[in-house]
Structures are given as C-alpha cells and as structure tokens.
Amino acid sequence: MSEELSMDQVFIKKLNDILEVNIENEHFGVKELAEAIGLSRSQLHRKIQKIKGKSSSRFIREYRLHKAMEMLQNDVTTASEIAYRVGFSSPTYFNTSFRKCFGYPPGEAKHRAVEAMDKVGISSAPQDIILAKKNMSQKKIILSTLLGFILIVTISYFLYSRSNDKKTTDATAIIVKDKSILVLPFKNLSYNKENQNFADGLAESIQNHLNKIKELKIISETILETEKTTSKIVKELDITYLLEGSVQQNGDELRINAKLIDVKKDYQIWSETYDYNLKSIFLIQSEIANLIAAELKMVISPSEIGPMEKMPTKNIEAYNLYKKGIHFSNFKTHSHGEGDKSIRYFKQAIEKDPEFALAYAALANAYIFSHKNLYVIDSVKFVEKLALKSIALDNDLAEGHAALGTLACFYGWDWGKAEKEFKLAILLDPNNATTHIYYSQFLFSVKDHFDEARKQIEIAIDLDPLSYMAITKSAYYYLYSGNYNEALIETAKLKEINKYNMYSYWLNLHIYKAQGKDDIAIAELADYYTLSSESSKNIDLDSLKMTFRKNGIRGIHKYYNENNIRIFSTPSNLDDFILYSDAGGYAHMGNNKKALEYLEIAYKRRCNKLYEIKYDPKFVNLRSDPKFLALLDKMRLGGYK
C-alpha cells in the first residue's frame, strides 16, 4: 500500500511541476496537461479521480488557487495582478473562485494563513506566519479587511468600465452571442438495441450539464421524431456548434466517443474517446461539459461548477432505471401510452436508492402527466409527498419545485402556491423549457397576464426550438388574440416537427374557420386522417366531411362527441382530456346545458385541464352564463374584466 501511495505522490508531483511551469498560461488546461504527462484526457481524469477524488479541471483550478494563496501570504503583489499570474484572465472570476475554495476573499488571505492551510490540507503554515498571526493587532486586521474591500470594489469598477469600452480586448468583458450548441442523440453502437435509452440519456445529461453555463445556448434534438434533418435545423436555428457522439457498452465497460464541430467553419474542434467503467458515468458527463467550456474559452463561475459536478446518485443501477423512466415519461414526450412504463422505472430507481431526489421528482411528474386523473390512479397528497420528499433530499432541485407548482395548478387550484413554486423552479434552473411552458399557461389562463405569458413561451421556444408543446401553446395564444397568420406559421412548424400529431391540424381547422376558409379547414382534418391510419380506425371520414358541409365546425364537434359516447358509453368513462374537449365541443355547438353537465363532472373529478377554461375559446359562448361564472368563482378564477 505504501508503494502504491508513493507512486501516486510521484505522479501528483509531476503534474504539479508541469502546472508550475505553465502557471501563467490561462489556456493551459486538461488537454495540455494530459499531453504533457503522456496520457489521454480520459486516462488523466481517471487517475486524478482515483487519487484526489476530483475532476482534472478542478485539480488544475485548485492548484492555481493554492499558488495564489502562497503569493498573497508573501505580499508578492496585488490580488488582481496575482489573478493573472496564476492563469485567471478575470480578476472577478478569480475572486469568486478563491472565496469558493477558501471561504473568504483574497484580501484576507495573509491574516488567515493558518486557517486556510489547515482547511485545504496543503501543509502547515511557516512558524513566522503563525507568530505574526498571533501578534497581529485588531487594528491591523480591520485595516487589512478594509483595504481588501476597497481593492475588490476598485477591481469591480475597473472591469465594469472596461466592459463598456468598445475597444476592450479583455475576453471576459465581451459578450459572445454565437455560442449555440445543438446536442444530437448519441448513437448506440452496442449489440443490445435497448442501450439506445442509455445513449439518449447520456446525451441529455451532458446537455443538462452544459445548460448550467450561462454563456451557452443549448439546443437539443428532441426525443420526438422530427421531420427536419439535422442540416436543416442547424441552418434554421443558426447553430454554431454541433455535439455528437456514440456509446458502446459491454457489461460495465463503456467506450464513449464525443465530437465538437464548428458547423459554420466545417471544422472538427476536438474528438475524444473515453474508456470508462459504468460507475464513472457522472465524471464523463461533467468532464465533457468542462472540455467544451474550455475549448470555447468560457469562464465557468463557482455557482455553475457546483451543479455540473453534482452526482445525482451513487447507485449506477438506480441512475440507469431513472434514465429509462425519463425516456418513456409523458412530461418529456407528451405522448399517450408510455406513462405506466416511466412510473415503473422511477419506482424501481427509488427502490435501488431511497435517497435519489431526482427520481422522486420524476415520479411525481410522471403521475401528473400520466393522462389519467390523479383521483383515479392515486391521491394528490401522495404525489405531493413525492415532490416534497425530493425537495427534502435536495432543496435546490428545480424539478421538485416545478412538480409542486404543476400539481397546485392542475389539481389543487392553489394559485398562490403554484406561482411561488413555478418562480422558484425557474430561479433554480432558468434553462428548463418545460417549467417555462407551464408557467406561461398559468399566467395566461389564471392570472390574465397575456403579455407575460407570451414572453415565457418565447423563452421556452428559445431554450428548446423543437418543443412541440411550446410551439403549440404559442399557436394557441396567437389564435386567441386573432393573430391568425402568426398562428399558421407556428402550426407549420408543428407539422415539420411531427406531421402525425393531430394538434396542428385541429388548430388549423379553427384558424381557417375563423378566416372564413371552410373548405381549407375541413381539408386539414382530411389530411390528418389520411396520414394516420391508426387514428382513422374509429372515424368515418366521409361522414365527417358531410357533417362539416351541413353544420360547419359545430357539426364536427357533434360528430366527435357522439362518437366518443358510442365508444365510452357515458361521460364518466371519458378520460380527462376527452371529457374537457367534449365539454368544449358542446359549448361550441351552443348546447350550454350539456357543456355545463360535462364541466360539473370535470369539476368533481378535478380534471387537470379545467384550470384553462376561463380563456379557452371553446367556452366563449358560456362567459355570460351564471352557472359558468359560478364555476369560475368556485375555482377562484374570478370573472371577466
């Protein structure tokens, strides 16, 4: 054991010697250190992780900070100058990194030498420093702290001034606007085709790591099968970089290849092959994210580093089950039929690791988006406990707070709680498109804040330009406001993403009807049923066209409602989505009595779509009906202005 320890010490000393020579070179990172020591980046990462329990990038950063500590204790020069001497191009970033590492700013370093050295475990402080510390007067401590504060303020002002100078050459003061990365699904090169779930999960996890870096704009190619080619997506969204990769799994051994490509220059920036054990999967995700940041000359703040290096669970089996659950989850794909699979996988993940916070939040969301009423499959209190458990395990988990907000909105109708949790979830993870989508719908349907709802949905689309649900909401808002041309632009996008989904055709039916283009309106439905043989099984297209010609959209709604009752026998047998939709159909037909009958059933069941009724165009004919207004009051939605 002592021989192995000695070899480790020799290895670390060699790394330190290399870093010492290159201490002032801010561009000397993991890649350069690996080349200097004669290893691949993945080999270097594994070795440092084994010896020091930290990533390669963190090892380099902390070495620089320790050297800075020595300089500060010996009064070498000012803190801002020392920042440059140890390879930090930004004094502000140096200051925050230093505070993160040692617990106090650089200005206090000299007078807290013993405490600092003990904390980081480098070595004992020299005797003269200890004596100096003991003999230092209170007056000097106060003066030193004050000087340190003045220094920080001066540096901050200096950097602020430089950021407003158009001729500045300091990279940290330049806002780069073209750092957009499209993360493609990783290819599964394993013989087991089911490992594609793992490959998809790996790409998504790397994307989530990159999302923590504020300078980057991350775009993922959605799990939904888009009709667009990658080249078309790159061109339309003006993508700068492309991250693609492959995964080959053999038991617990992984071979991962990742490539970062500058698509505008048609140039491969780097390509790396990682040979890892499955247990190191979290290190791979963090390392690839750090490598991308380094290659693009980005500064990662301490507040961003923490979440990137955070391990969601130590149990790899639990993590794999969680990723399988995500693959089948409705709140990711927003499709019917796979919710039960996701719930099963999330439960198994929790069984493997009862402290897995993300799995609890995911399970809560899976129940919420299962397309079944929670009062049928389980109680709201049970789902709420799952979300609260996730937050108890990790209070900074945005997914847990988002689940609480969605639950309060969909089923609790507790508008204050919903708004509080949505805002907190966005604060914790501003790059989560799904949270912005549901907060947008909340603002639109509950708060009457239409302009803010539009802003939130635009944020969601900016974060995930291929989000079918976000673009659907956008089209819906345009339809409501009478901006039909804009609505049609959005539905055209929906068809490009997934031409087999009915929403775009149904929206177009209403848009064209509002424009007086009845023939085009019915042609939309005909196009859909021609494409989707599965959906057309219970539909007689000729009868549908005939009823439309006789009675317009009212006839369409009548046909669907009667067809649903024929299949499901009674309104009580309808699931939430169909129940709510048929209520809107009756309202559109002018059959207010039947519409209110359906809405009363939906109210008793706490239908998860009911919170949208106030401004849903389908219920415009009911807005003066006393029973409808009474229903709004019972839901604490208020009346109309």
Count of domains observed in the chain: 4
Mean pLDDT of all residues in 233-243: 80
What span, in angstroms and rounded, lies between the C-alpha atoms of 439 and 452?
A: 10
Query: Which of the residue ranges 67-71, 156-160, 310-314, 353-357 would you say has the lowest mean pLDDT?
Result: 156-160
pLDDT above 60 for 136: no
- Do 139 and 187 lie in one domain? The reply is no
Examine the fold and report which residue of 376, 394, 412 is the final residue of a domain before the chain moves on. Answer: 394
- DSSP per-residue letters across 366-402: HHHTSSS-HHHHS-HHHHHHHHHHHHHH-TT-HHHHH
Examine the fold and report which residue of 122, 140, 173 is the final residue of a domain before the chain moves on. Answer: 173
User: Is pLDDT larger for residue 619 or for residue 92?
Assistant: 619
- Do 144 and 208 lie in one domain? The reply is no
Q: Is residue 430 part of a domain?
A: no
- Do 291 and 330 lie in one domain? The reply is no
Output the domain CATH number for residue 160. Answer: 1.10.10.60
**Cβ-contact 104, 111 below 8 angstroms:** no
Q: Is 245 helix (H, G, I), strand (E, B) or coil?
A: strand
Residue 610 banded pLDDT, cuts 50, 70, 90 = very high
Residue 567 banded pLDDT, cuts 50, 70, 90 = confident
Output the domain CATH number for residue 189. Answer: 3.40.50.10070
Neighbours of 474 (CB within 10 A): 26
- Do 45 and 97 lie in one domain? The reply is yes
Q: For residues 222-249, b (16+ Cβ closer than 10 Å) or e, as one string?
A: bbbebebeeeebbeebebbbbbbbbbbb
Residue 534 banded pLDDT, cuts 50, 70, 90 = low
Which residues, 6 or more positions from 76, have their beta carbon under 8 angstroms from its beta carbon? 82, 85
Q: What is the pLDDT of residue 287?
A: 72
Residue 131 banded pLDDT, cuts 50, 70, 90 = very low
Nearest CA to 184 out of 170, 202, 167, 162 is that of 202
What span, in angstroms and rounded, lies between the C-alpha atoms of 627 and 640?
A: 14
445-460 pLDDT tens trace? 999 999 999 999 999 9
What span, in angstroms and rounded, lies between the C-alpha atoms of 553 and 507?
A: 12
Q: What is the pLDDT of residue 326?
A: 82
Highest mean pLDDT among 55-69, 104-118, 254-268, 597-611: 597-611
Q: Is residue 417 part of a domain?
A: no
Mean residue pLDDT of the chain comes to 78
Extended beta strands in 118-232, E state: 180-183, 187-188, 217-220
The structure's pTM equals 0.64
pLDDT above 50 for 119: no
Q: What is the pLDDT of residue 459?
A: 93
- Do 243 and 147 lie in one domain? The reply is no
Q: What is the pLDDT of residue 513?
A: 87
Q: Is residue 385 part of a domain?
A: yes
Examine the fold and report which residue of 298, 325, 347 is the final residue of a domain before the chain moves on. Answer: 298
Q: What is the pLDDT of residue 228?
A: 63
**Cβ-contact 41, 292 below 8 angstroms:** no
Q: Is residue 558 part of a domain?
A: yes
Residue 419 banded pLDDT, cuts 50, 70, 90 = very high
Q: Is residue 413 part of a domain?
A: no
- Do 26 and 147 lie in one domain? The reply is yes
Q: What is the dihedral of CA 161, 167, 169, 175, to 10 degrees?
A: 70
User: Is pLDDT larger for residue 122 or for residue 552?
Assistant: 552
- Do 243 and 358 lie in one domain? The reply is no
What span, in angstroms and rounded, lies between the C-alpha atoms of 494 and 481?
A: 19
pLDDT above 60 for 223: no
- DSSP per-residue letters across 577-625: HHHHHHHHHHHHHT-HHHHHHHHHHHHHTT-TTGGGGGG-GGGGGGTT-
Domain that holds residue 597: 540-641
Q: Is residue 453 part of a domain?
A: no
- Do 263 and 284 lie in one domain? The reply is yes
- Do 112 and 261 lie in one domain? The reply is no
571-588 pLDDT tens trace? 878 888 889 999 999 998
Classify residue 447 by its DSSP letter.
S
pLDDT above 50 for 177: no
pLDDT above 70 for 407: yes
**Cβ-contact 433, 463 below 8 angstroms:** yes
In this structure, what token pair is assigned to residue 104?
A: 């106090």
Residue 375 banded pLDDT, cuts 50, 70, 90 = low
Backbone φ, ψ for residue 274 (5° rounding):
-115, 125
What span, in angstroms and rounded, lies between the C-alpha atoms of 578 and 538?
A: 15
Mean pLDDT of all residues in 41-51: 79
- Do 185 and 288 lie in one domain? The reply is yes
- Do 360 and 332 lie in one domain? The reply is yes
Output the domain CATH number for residue 348. Answer: 1.25.40.10
pLDDT above 60 for 144: no
470-487 pLDDT tens trace? 999 999 999 989 999 999
Q: What is the pLDDT of residue 299?
A: 54
**Cβ-contact 180, 217 below 8 angstroms:** yes
pLDDT above 50 for 139: no
Q: What is the pLDDT of residue 556?
A: 83
Q: Is residue 124 part of a domain?
A: yes
- Do 278 and 320 lie in one domain? The reply is no
Q: What is the pLDDT of residue 123?
A: 42
Q: Is residue 405 part of a domain?
A: no
State what percent of residues in the chain have pLDDT above 70.
Answer: 77
The sign of the dihedral angle between the CA atoms of 291, 294, 298, 304 is positive
- Amino acid 91 reads P
Q: What is the pLDDT of residue 176?
A: 37
51-96 pLDDT tens trace? 887 777 778 888 988 888 888 888 767 777 888 888 876 666 677 6
pLDDT above 80 for 132: no
Highest mean pLDDT among 290-304, 365-379, 430-444, 514-528: 430-444
pLDDT above 60 for 133: no
